[in-house]
Structure 1
């Protein structure tokens, strides 16, 4: 059943927003292929899908930031306005993004009526502006001082302020992009209560979230996109969570068999490669502990707002934690120091290769050997020949396709750039690796090569903490820890199924099989032999409302 086959609810009988057979490409990449969606007045309609499903592209089309290559966008049954008519778009739709658009240095009143402070060329009446803001805030029961600086507002107050600003333009359709990612339990409940009250007045929401438990709590209809295509639209009340996850993942057992690993058995007299004890960062995650053995790959999975990326970056020295310790092969690491982590023997692949991974205008040889410069010559002095030889050896190991070691990294394909980043992490013969989404944005062939390199490093005795939300990445892990809003909520041994892992990541699992996170804080304890029975870990934090 497609979205445009569904009759919209509401008195008018017309959906507030509709996409009919919409397609969009960016170069050779097809971001959306004949997708549909229809949002009824007063409805909370969820849009879900894994990374790359096309959700963000649809938002750009629904908000007039881009034009579809094919298909139609309708509001109230009428065609969308020209992209140049921003006022017309603002009167129809607004998006509250995960990253706030509120300007912190301006007052609440100025943010509410930005570029509308006065009529025409008349001087601004600041008293009148504050009065208009007070009326608007009172209408939507927002207890905020109009003259207060926006920087003093809490995250949930800024979100509600953005919703009120959108409604003041006349828009009755609001897109919420990961609205709960930065909120705690009480504030999530408050946000949901406010959304329900607005729905009663006819305001419709497109609710985009990685937390599927919230979809079941607040939404009436859900649409699933996968691989740029529309897969499913159905009432939430009649949709089993396993059906929803299956629609999102599209399980293909034959493809994922190539990434599977055997149960981890530590080598004789193996030592811990990486030990993390009670690591915490206020506002991101709390009391995280794990021991990664020599030759072991531990996956760390979580959706937006789970804290997994920040945790991985903290271990690598990019953030200074509020508590906890990191030890690499018996050497204590000074937390918050990248050089100290590198010196202790930690290799690191960052999340964003463009911003954190490569120097695009410099040669491959320089980029791929950055962590091993002290090995290329005495006292930090080395020749161009030694640099090229070391670079070429790493390029051969990683199968980097290039003209040679002197070619600028920026001229390589995305997959080969990522291989250079991986090579740099391995250049210093690390004892442990922290890998954050190491195959993001690469083709299948490059993914196989990169994951094969990680497994080879593990076979040679290196321990790896693999942070990713890509199922194929996690399939090479010997066990996977799942975080939800800063807490470890489940652990899965190798051989997990897509549905059970995705359920835990999305906050839907009420009893996922787990190996007892506390049991794995010591290397000697987590080295269970094949066939060991694992305890059931009840995800009580994820029952009911889905927030903590």
Structure 2
């Protein structure tokens, strides 16, 4: 590909779905060897543009060119694969196949009658070595770390000849170390001329990785600018169309709240431990308090959240809500005791995607939707309507399949389910993963409201904006608390503690 020509250039792209205008004359240019961010709220048009750039949808107007050449004919899958590929937030590798089998799926050896597995492994090893991916070709994909699966998908895309890789929320399921390894690999590939279109709701990552950023809002192109020339507040304003402090204002709000430190804890753990995950831990979360548990996925904080919710059985210690001991490893008992739970992965743990908004929102309260164990559709709809209104869920109605909602609104449905039983203690694991800036602020506001109503909330995350809503933050590293912070901590000291390079008790 000629270095002087853009890896991709889209101009005047229009896409309609019935009366809905999903893209209204948008543009995008990504240069070879560049990491270019595409940001915007859910519904801004990012996903639709990706579908046009990858040949899944045909634009109603406008042009797409790769390396100065017109995009392949619509429907010519192999030709599109030679130009561009997308690595999605949800991995597309086949978990039960090996790395080698995934790399050459459907193209093992077109000229041979039988598959030569030795030859296949050799080809895979050569491909992985070419791009510096240190993964055993014989490893089952399910046994790979998340970023390793992404490396395999990128290597597969490059093997088709693609020089433009679209990364759609690639860090949503990664901890800090995994993100570091992913970014390091992307920079290596950039030096080889590979271009990346980086789609993320984590704006800090845009500043860490990308040199240019394009903003879409309401299906239109708002701006394209060098990353170093635009401040975070200006970028958020371009995305939302309004000026506001957003999540960064939570520090000041936390300093203003006054809580009764003598009040009995709502949620308490005593010497709670899970072997191989976290050491004995005493926690007390009082009425009106949001406690943050900061750390990477490897710190043990996610396992701690799952233990509090009854999804894992502790190897020692106790959990209690308002003095009532919760049966270890029992989700139903945790629900009955007053614990609500927002899981980390809304797709795998939070939603039944082929079911309606109403069905998903009421999964934890089916015993309240009709007499003698029955579920009345009318009562389900009424209950769901109240949750839709309360959380401002953007949906066509309670009967809409939840799979048709944007990421932010899907997450609100997960929150609705967690709040359906009016929990005394809400446990939220990375509650804003993969959602836009506006939805992020709204979701954190819901968690804050739960506490302000006299309950307790726990946010488990390594996302700094999630933790700003907290009144107190405990930093975990390798399964133990290494530092405690009151509201007002700085990014540097909290990140240092999460990375194990700064301890403060």
User: Is the 2:357–2:401 contact (alpha carbons within 8 Å) kept by the matching residues of 1?
Assistant: no
1:79 — aligned with what?
70
1:502 — aligned with what?
none
User: Is the 1:369–1:391 contact (alpha carbons within 8 Å) kept by the matching residues of 2?
Assistant: no
Residue range with higher mean Cα deviation, 26-35 or 155-164: 26-35
Does 1:341 pair with 2:341? no
Question: Which of residues 108, 115, 121 in structure 2 aligns to 1:124?
Answer: 115
Q: Secondary structure at the match of 1:159?
A: helix
Change (3 A) 1:120 1:397: closer
Tell me the distance in 2 between the aligned counterparts of 1:131 and 1:431: 57
Question: Which of residues 394, 407, 410 in structure 1 aligns to 2:399?
Answer: 410
Tell me the distance in 2 between the aligned counterparts of 1:288 and 1:249: 41
Does 1:137 pair with 2:128? yes
2:393 — aligned with what?
none
1:233 — aligned with what?
224
Q: Secondary structure at the match of 1:100?
A: coil
Q: Secondary structure at the match of 1:64?
A: coil
Change (3 A) 1:488 1:32: farther
Q: Secondary structure at the match of 1:327?
A: strand
Unpaired stretches in structure 1, ≥5 consecutive residues:
1-9, 402-407, 490-515, 521-533
Change (3 A) 1:452 1:344: closer
Residue range with higher mean Cα deviation, 168-177 or 193-202: 193-202
1:35 — aligned with what?
26
1:518 — aligned with what?
484
Q: Secondary structure at the match of 1:272?
A: coil
What whole-Å deviation, never above 9, does each CA across 1:174-197 have from its counterpart, x for those lacking one? 122344455566655554444333
Q: Secondary structure at the match of 2:266?
A: strand
Residues paired across the two proteins, number: 476
Does 1:370 pair with 2:359? no
Offset at residue 540 of structure 1 (A) = 4.4
Question: Which of residues 192, 196, 214 in structure 2 aligns to 1:223?
Answer: 214
1:523 — aligned with what?
none
Q: How does 1:226-375 map onto structure 2 within 5 Å?
A: 226-253=217-244, 263-266=256-259, 270-275=263-268, 291-296=284-289, 315-320=308-313, 326-347=319-340, 355=351, 369-370=365-366
Question: Which of residues 147, 152, 164 in structure 2 aligns to 1:173?
Answer: 164
Change (3 A) 1:166 1:285: farther
- The alignment's C-alpha RMSD in Å is 5.8
TM-score by length of 2: 0.69
User: Is the 1:185–1:547 contact (alpha carbons within 8 Å) kept by the matching residues of 2?
Assistant: no
Offset at residue 20 of structure 1 (A) = 1.9
Unpaired stretches in structure 2, ≥5 consecutive residues:
391-396
Offset at residue 114 of structure 1 (A) = 1.7
Change (3 A) 1:229 1:248: same
Offset at residue 547 of structure 1 (A) = 12
Offset at residue 133 of structure 1 (A) = 3.0
Tell me the distance in 2 between the aligned counterparts of 1:537 and 1:339: 39
What whole-Å deviation, never above 9, does each CA across 1:472-494 have from its counterpart, x for those lacking one? 9999x6848699999999xxxxx
2:35 — aligned with what?
44
Change (3 A) 1:152 1:292: closer
Change (3 A) 1:348 1:26: farther
Question: Which of residues 83, 92, 114 in structure 1 aligns to 2:105?
Answer: 114
Tell me the distance in 2 between the aligned counterparts of 1:31 and 1:468: 33
2:492 — aligned with what?
539
Change (3 A) 1:409 1:220: closer
User: Is the 2:100–2:121 contact (alpha carbons within 8 Å) kept by the matching residues of 1?
Assistant: yes
Tell me the distance in 1 between the aligned counterparts of 2:316 and 2:456: 23
Q: How does 1:484-503 map onto structure 2 within 5 Å?
A: none
Tell me the distance in 2 between the aligned counterparts of 1:296 and 1:64: 49
Tell me the distance in 2 between the aligned counterparts of 1:452 and 1:188: 28
1:22 — aligned with what?
13
Offset at residue 113 of structure 1 (A) = 1.9
User: Is the 1:368–1:421 contact (alpha carbons within 8 Å) kept by the matching residues of 2?
Assistant: no
Change (3 A) 1:254 1:90: closer
Q: Secondary structure at the match of 2:72?
A: coil
Tell me the distance in 1 between the aligned counterparts of 2:62 and 2:480: 43
Does 1:60 pair with 2:51? yes
Change (3 A) 1:53 1:314: farther
* Largest Rg, 1 or 2: 1
What whole-Å deviation, never above 9, does each CA across 1:460-481 have from its counterpart, x for those lacking one? 6444457899999999x68486
Change (3 A) 1:152 1:225: same
What whole-Å deviation, never above 9, does each CA across 1:22-78 have from its counterpart, x for those lacking one? 344556665444332111112222223444444333322222222334433222233
Q: Secondary structure at the match of 1:410?
A: coil
Tell me the distance in 2 between the aligned counterparts of 1:15 and 1:192: 22
Offset at residue 85 of structure 1 (A) = 1.0
User: Is the 2:362–2:380 contact (alpha carbons within 8 Å) kept by the matching residues of 1?
Assistant: yes
